[in-house]
Structure 1
Amino acid sequence: MFKKKPLAVALSSVLVLALALVGCGTKTASTSEEKEVKPIIIKFSHVVTPDTPKGKAALKFKELAEQKTNGRVKVEVYPSSQLYGDKEELEACQSGNVQIIAPSVTKLVGLNPKFQYTDLPFLFPNNEAVYKFFASDAMKGLMNSLDKYNLQGLAVWPNGFKQFTNNKRPLITPDDFKGLKFRTQAGKVLEAQFKALGAGSATIPFGETYAALQQGTVDGQENTFNNIDTQKYQEIQKYLTVSNHGRIDYMIIVNKSFWSGLEPDIRKALDESMAEATKFAVEQADILDQKSKENLKNGGKLQFTELTPDQLAAFQKAMQPVYDEFESVISKELIDAAIKAGQN
């Protein structure tokens, strides 16, 4: 009996060691597996509400990206300036604190003054002309002009044409603007536009516009039907003029270093997701802008003024000096490309 004990102890020790090794091997495999499935986080920051065309398209991109990458990518969408406002989002994307932003095209004029095309009054006659321009070589050149800032344009998402609102009087002729002050995005073209109408302007971030209107810092603003509706400007404005004088559209921008560093199959899936989300954005922009127009028109809080062709012609004539001043800055080639899109 005593002679067998050492053998039993030895066998027991071997068994314990084997189990320990199996346990260690399982733990290592599990840890390795966890590392493989850890998703790539993409932070997508924007300044409008989730129920806007941009807000809905951002959520559609999230859905598609996570689906097409089988969960290897997780997109975190931060709407309504939750992470960054107008002033900070470009810098945040450059530095990689967020990976995707969707600023208004006007916000990019400091990086390339040619982006001011979007603020030229009455450049596009309708949405079809705008969408043709988005697909043009001229727009592709603009999207690829941000390399030195470590940024890359991926797509353009529409919002719609701008309308004027104010709380003083109906705006029917250019003379009606005299003495009023309007909130604008940053941009020399926008300043020149209101100057040509005899009005003043103040650059105010989008998220602060409601308070500025409420407090009387400015008398009015210009925006799409959908932005006016979702931001509830009808609560603090009395008059709306349907002018379709300018555009608010969004450039979808990524941190270039991040995007270039993705594995090819991941980037391909994300490119496909962005293309589908862009089609969705176009559909939503058209639907929601018309819906918001009806909401505002039927809400009873705003007095609507729809300009006649002759009245529109008077505004176009009043704003011709803006073209004369900025043609050399934006470039005749780019302006001609936009005009051509409206003629085909």
Structure 2
Amino acid sequence: MKRVSFLFMLILLIGGLFACSNSQSTSTNTTEEKKEESSSEPIVIKFSHVTAPDSPKGKAADLFKQLVEERTKGRVKVEVYPSSQLFDDDKAIQELPRNTVQLIAPSTTKLVSYDPAFQIVDMPFLFTSDKAVYKFWDGEGGQILSKKLEKYNIKVLAMWANGDKHFTNSKRPLKKPADFKGLKFRTQTGKVLDEQFAALGASAVPMGFSEVYVALQQGTVDGQENTFNNIDTQGYAEVQKYLTVSGHGRLDYLLLTNTKFWDSLPEDVRKTLEEVIVEVTEQQRKWSEELNKASYEKLKASGMEVYELTKEDIEEFQKAMQPVYEKFADSIGQDLIELAKKANE
């Protein structure tokens, strides 16, 4: 009987140990499965911008989403929020360092609050072509400006194009600096723009983009400065008689991310994103150029009186703008201005 009891107890003990081992194994497997499930969750990138989906910036954002999701095989999910659905530019710039959003593409001039050097895009008659602008931003000039944002946890990934600015007005053809005297022009907010029009004897009236058409229609301002595409799509030809093809300033975007977020990405994922950004940037710039060319043709056919500044005209304007350069060379940086001029060569 003792032998039978001993064998029975031994069987119970072995059974208990096996059950405990099996329970621990199941628990370990469940934990590992959870870890694996957690690590397989996609990295989410929220991309906020303010333009329509069919704009060059909107199309580029959608192309970025498509290529990233394809090439990372679902490891990265990109959520695109166009037309200020998530934030406007000002709010987006505030939220980016907090990682509320991971990608934004605001107007370059929106970054002046971080450093006055970003006013370089408003310096009149500085860049002579799209190619010169790309050369500046893709080279040393862009590197210098990008470093100015590092301490704010903001990283510049690329410059996306919008285009040259040109003058329109309702009063008279603008061919010489003297033709601007006494006119009022709507502008974005900016000290350089104030001084630009002051040098021409005109007035700058800062105003929101959505208010411009009515202000031109009612004569609150006489003219404005913008890209061909904006002039076209906003219907300014209906309320402006004269267009001067000047290319005197730039309206472009910077593709920005949160530095800590970017550095936290797996190296292979970050490499894929960098490759996609190069590809998308090239396409975005082509779309921008094509759109502006198409809009220019529409404007010429709209009945507007169009005047293209000659090389001699531009030289006269550059002389008139010399006080602007003297006033802002120090705050922007003479080194940056010289790099911009060199990019024109």
The normalised TM-score by structure 1 is 0.85
Cα distance in 2, alignment partners of residues 331 and 43 from structure 1: 34
The counterpart of 1:223, out of the listed 197, 221, 226, is 226
1:31-70 equivalences in 2 (<5 Å): 35-70=38-73
Q: Corresponding residue for 2:311?
A: 309
Preserved contact between residue 165 and residue 238 of structure 1 (Cα < 8 Å) = yes
Q: 26-35 or 151-160, which moves further after superposition?
A: 26-35
Conserved 8 A contact 2:125-2:314: no
Query: Residues 85 and 205 of structure 1 are in contact (CA less than 8 Å); yes or no, is this contact kept in structure 2?
Result: no
> In terms of mean alpha carbon deviation, does 279-288 or 332-341 score higher?
279-288
SS of aligned partner of 1:244: strand
Larger Rg: 2
2:322 maps to 1:320? yes
Query: 253, 273, 277: which is aligned to 1:274?
Result: 277
Query: Is the 1:196–1:318 contact (alpha carbons within 8 Å) kept by the matching residues of 2?
Result: yes
Counterpart position of 1:128: 131
Q: Are 2:106 and 1:103 aligned?
A: yes
Task: Please give the secondary structure, in 2, of the residue aligned with 1:246.
Answer: strand
Superimposed CA distance per residue, residues 237-266 of structure 1 (whole angstroms, 9 cap, x where no aligned partner): 332110011111211111222222222222
Amino acid in structure 2 at the alignment position of 1:260:
D
What are the residue-to-residue correspondences of 1:254-293 with 2, within 5 Å? 254-293=257-296
The alignment status of 1:118 with 2:121, answered yes or no, reads yes
Distance in 2 separating the partners of 1:289 and 1:144: 31
Q: 1:305 to 1:70 in 2, by over 3 A?
A: same
Post-superposition shift, 1:172?
A: 2.1
Cα drift, residue 147 of structure 1: 1.7
Q: Residue 177 of structure 1 aligns with which residue?
A: 180
2:15 alignment partner in structure 1? none
CA RMSD of aligned residues (A): 2.6
Instruction: Tell me if the contact between 1:86 and 1:205 (Cα under 8 Å) persists in the aligned partners.
Output: no
Deviation at 1:94, TM superposition (A): 2.5
Distance apart, 1:326 and its partner CA: 0.9
SS at match of 1:98: coil
**Aligned counterpart in structure 1 of residue 339 of structure 2, from 329, 337, 340:** 337
The answer to whether 1:76 aligns with 2:79 is yes
Partner of 2:89, secondary structure, is: coil
**What is the 5 A alignment of 1:231-250?**
231-250=234-253
Deviations 1:52-99 (A, max 9, x none): 322222222111111121122222222222322233221122222221
Contact in 2 for aligned 1:47/1:207 (Cα 8 Å): no
Q: Is the contact made by 1:179 and 1:199 (CA closer than 8 Å) also made in structure 2?
A: yes
| C-alpha contact (below 8 Å) 1:49/1:230 kept by paired residues | no
Deviations 1:113-159 (A, max 9, x none): 11111111111122222222122222112112212222111111122
Unaligned runs of 5+ in 2: 1-22
- Counterpart pick for 2:97 among 84, 94, 99: 94
Deviation, structure 1 residue 212: 4.1
Q: Indicate the residue corresponding to 2:20 in structure 1.
A: none
Identical columns (%): 54
8 Å CA contact 1:87, 1:205 repeated in 2: no
Q: Is the 8 A contact 1:177 1:197 kept in 2?
A: yes
3-state SS of 1:170 partner? coil
Secondary structure of residue in 2 paired with 1:50: coil
Which moves more between the two structures, 138-147 or 170-179? 170-179
Candidates 163, 168, 179, aligned match of 1:165: 168
Name whichever of 34-43 and 70-79 sits farther off: 34-43
Residue equivalent to 1:197: 200
Deviation at 1:179, TM superposition (A): 2.4
- Residue 81 to residue 168, structure 1, CA distance change in 2 (3 Å): farther
Which amino acid in 2 is paired with 1:56? K
